[in-house]
Amino acid sequence: MIALLQRVSEAAVQVNGETTGAIGRGILAFIGVEKGDTEAQAERLLERILAYRMFSDDAGRMNLDLLQTGGGLLLVSQFTLAADTNKGNRASFTSAAPPDEGRRLFDHLVSRARRVLPETGTGRFGANMAVRLVNDGPVTFWLQVPPAA
């Protein structure tokens, strides 16, 4: 599973003009699900998202995680993160999970996130979404949890 994390001062996602999720300061995480990904990977990815130190402490160093800052979490499914861009000028999505499997694992991730942060916002799986964000920094990290060996 893949997460593209962006530290934001605010972010929101809309579907057909309706806001489905919004946060103030926190993390906007775009989530990509690949073929063969598991619930265990989703849970490990969430652990990493919540514990990733991307917020500044009093000394200005990125030493604080989301839970330490009390920030918000906005999870947005994005199958294009699973794209193979190694050849040609058009991405291949053969490594992306089929829609039903992607939805199941994304929903699992959201469910687990809401146990820790009940106000976790989301987009709508498979929908055409408009995502607005103010990247704070900018600070952006790519996290990937490989299958268990």
Percent of the chain with pLDDT over 70: 99
Specify the number of domains making up the chain.
Answer: 1
Q: Would 148 be classed as within a structural domain?
A: no
User: How far apart are alpha carbons 81 and 123 in whole angstroms?
Assistant: 16
User: Is 122 inside a domain boundary?
Assistant: yes
Rounded CA-CA distance 45/105 in Å is 11
- Residues 13-55 have pLDDT tens digits of 999 999 999 999 999 999 999 999 999 999 999 999 999 999 9
Cis peptide preceding 138, ω within 30 of 0? yes
Instruction: Please say whether the beta carbons of 75 and 109 come within 8 A.
Output: yes
Catalytic residue chosen out of the listed positions 6, 30, 41, 79: 79
Residue-number span of the structural domain to which 44 is assigned? 2-143
What CATH code is carried by the domain that includes residue 72? 3.50.80.10
Residue 37 maps to a domain: yes
Q: 110 falls in which pLDDT band (50, 70, 90)?
A: very high
Task: State the catalytic residue, choosing from 19, 68, 80, 94.
Answer: 80
3-state helix, strand, coil in the chain (%, to 5): 25, 40, 35
pLDDT at 149 over 70: no
Q: For residue 84, what pLDDT band results from cuts at 50, 70 and 90?
A: confident
List the structure tokens of 103: 């939805």
